[in-house]
Amino acid sequence: MGSPGLSVLLTASEIGQRLDELAVEVNRHYPPGRDPHLVAVLKGSVVFLADFMRALGRPLTMDLIALSSYGAGTRSTGVVRVLKDLKEDPAGRDVLIVEDIVDSGRTLAWLRSTLKGRRPRSLRSVALLDKPTRRQTTVALEHVGFTIEDRFVVGYGLDLDERYRELPYVAVLDQDT
Ligand code: IMP
Ligand code: MG
């Protein structure tokens, strides 16, 4: 079997332009003296994090947490596991969760309630991509880059079985169309 083909959904320049708009929107919630503490979810969010923290263009701090809600393949198991915990205590900080994509919402719902228990000063979330039609649970998501249909996407950090993360654009696998 060869690799499936890819159809570009969001080009690198579309993503870059949207990140600049999103940064303006997000920055409004963090005045000087209330620098955001970004908590990014490994591994899928690293490309978005790297570009978005520079688009924000203001003082901030960041931390990483590794969670897994997926086994191999494209469907959620609904089980969230902590693979690597935060390094910094989020207590008293203005925490901004940085997610690659919100699908069923289970990962974000779990992370929000877990972080809330650690007493941040404020808690908001930003996701590059949102698939609202797939939601299995109600969860707050304050900032979204792009709302997309129920298609499995790869690239710009997103993987299928650890592949395609390096692509500078977001694509749909042709076999999934
Ligand atoms: P949720 O818990 O179902 O919302 O899943 C969120 C996580 O599943 C994301 O952070 C991704 O890692 C992964 N995920 C969901 N949809 C996709 C997709 O279309 N492509 C790649 N990963 C996805
Ligand atoms: Mg993820």
Catalytic residue (one of 103, 150, 174, 176):
103
Contact 174, 157 (CB under 8 A): no
What confidence category does residue 70 fall into, taking pLDDT thresholds of 50, 70 and 90? low
Contact 58, 84 (CB under 8 A): no
Sheet holding 6-10, edge to edge: 6-10, 170-173, 153-154
Q: Backbone phi, then psi, for 7, in 5-degree steps?
A: -110, 125
For 15-43, write each residue's pLDDT tens digit: 999 999 999 999 999 999 999 999 999 99
Mutate to test the pocket of ligand 1, among 101, 111, 113, 159 (most ligand atoms within 8 A of CB): 101
Would you call 103 a catalytic residue per the annotation? yes
99: which 2 tokens? 């997610």
Q: Which residue has the higher pLDDT, 172 or 80?
A: 172
pLDDT of 1: 45
CA 101 / ligand 2 centre spacing (Å): 6
pLDDT of 129: 98
Contact 166, 5 (CB under 8 A): no
Angle subtended at Cα 48 by Cα 108 and Cα 101, rounded to the nearest 5 degrees:
35
Find tokens 């941040």 and name the residue.
120
CA 6 / ligand 2 centre spacing (Å): 20
